[in-house]
A and B are shown apart, each in its own frame.
Chain A
Amino acid sequence: MAETKKTTIVLFSGDYDKAMAAYIIANGAAAYDHEVTIFHTFWGLNALRKPEKQSIAKGKLEAMFGKMMPRGADRMGLSNMNFLGIGPKLIKKVMKKHNAMPLPELIDMAREQDVRLIGCTMTMDLLGLDEKELRDDIEYAGVAAYLGEASDGNVNLFI
C-alpha cells in the first residue's frame, strides 16, 4: 500500500456539534488508515476535560474560568439552537433515535483507533486548565508540533 497519509485537525471550538464533526472526520480518517492528530486549543480543550471535578489550587481568575467552562465533552453546548442548554438535550435524544454516536463515545473510539489527541499548552495556561483536569491519554504540544504534522498532512482542518 502507498505511504501512510496524514490528517490533522485543529479543534478550536468548544461547541458539541462542531466537535462532533471534527471527531467523525477523525474517526473516518483513521478508518482510511491515516495517521490522525487532533490539536485542541482554546475552547476545544474542554472536550478533553474529565467530567469529575478535580481539586487543583488555582488563581481566582483561573478558577472562575474553570467554573464557567463545560467539564467534558458531554456538557458542551451547541453552536446553534442551544436554547440555554435545552438544545443539547434535544439533539442527544435525536441522535439516540438515529443511532448516531455521542461525542464522548466518538472521542473514546478515536483513541481506540490510535488518533493522537493533543492539548495546546499555551491556551491551557490562558484558560487555567491543568493537565490533571484533562484526559490521561493525551499529549501536550505547541504550534511547532502542529505545523510539523500539518506540513505533511493530506487533510488539514480548522474547526
Chain B
Amino acid sequence: MEPKTTIDAKGLACPQPILKTKKAIKEMDSGEVLELHATDKGAQSDLTAWTKAGGHELLDHTEDNGVYKFWIQKG
C-alpha cells in the first residue's frame, strides 16, 4: 500500500519517534498509511504497543542494517 506520509526519525532517541508518529497520524485520515523510519532499538516494541492501544494497525515492519521501517494504517 502506498504510504500517505513518510516520517524520518532516524537517529532520534526515545520518545521522539513515537511523538513524531503520533503527530503525523493525527493529521491523517482513517485507512491511510504512514511509513516510519527509525534507528531506536526500542521503536519496534513501542510502536507495536502504541498502534494496538490507539486502534491503529501495524501492517508491516522490516529491519535493514539497523534501520527499522514501519507501515502503520490509521484506525
Whether B54 and A32, one on each chain, are in contact in the complex, defined by CB atoms closer than 8 angstroms, is yes
B61 within 8 A of A: no
Partner of A109, one of B13, B19, B53: B19
Whose C-beta in chain B lies nearest to the C-beta of A106? B15
Whether A31 and B15, one on each chain, are in contact in the complex, defined by CB atoms closer than 8 angstroms, is yes
Whether A99 and B13, one on each chain, are in contact in the complex, defined by CB atoms closer than 8 angstroms, is yes
Partner of B55, one of A1, A24, A28, A31: A1
- Chain B residues with Cβ below 8 Å from A33 are 54
B18 within 8 A of A: yes
- Shortest A102–chain B CB gap in Å is 11
Interface string of B52-74 (1 = CB under 8 A from A): 01110000000000000000000
- Shortest A73–chain B CB gap in Å is 17
Whether A32 and B15, one on each chain, are in contact in the complex, defined by CB atoms closer than 8 angstroms, is no
* Docked complex Cα distance between A121 and B16 (Å): 32
A27 within 8 A of B: yes
Interface string of A69-111 (1 = CB under 8 A from B): 0000000000000000000000000010011110000000100
Whose C-beta in chain A lies nearest to the C-beta of B9? A99
- Shortest A147–chain B CB gap in Å is 26
**Could you list some 10 contacts between A and B, CB below 8 A?**
A1-B55, A27-B15, A27-B19, A31-B15, A31-B21, A32-B53, A32-B54, A33-B54, A99-B12, A100-B14
Which positions in A face B, CB cutoff 8 Å?
Answer: 1, 24, 27-28, 31-33, 95, 98-101, 109, 113
Which positions in B face A, CB cutoff 8 Å?
Answer: 11-16, 18-19, 21-22, 50, 53-55
Nearest first, the 4 A-B pairs at minimum CB distance are A100-B13, A31-B22, A28-B15, A31-B18
6 further contact pairs, Cβ within 8 A, besides A27-B15, A32-B53: A1-B55, A24-B15, A31-B50, A99-B12, A99-B16, A101-B13
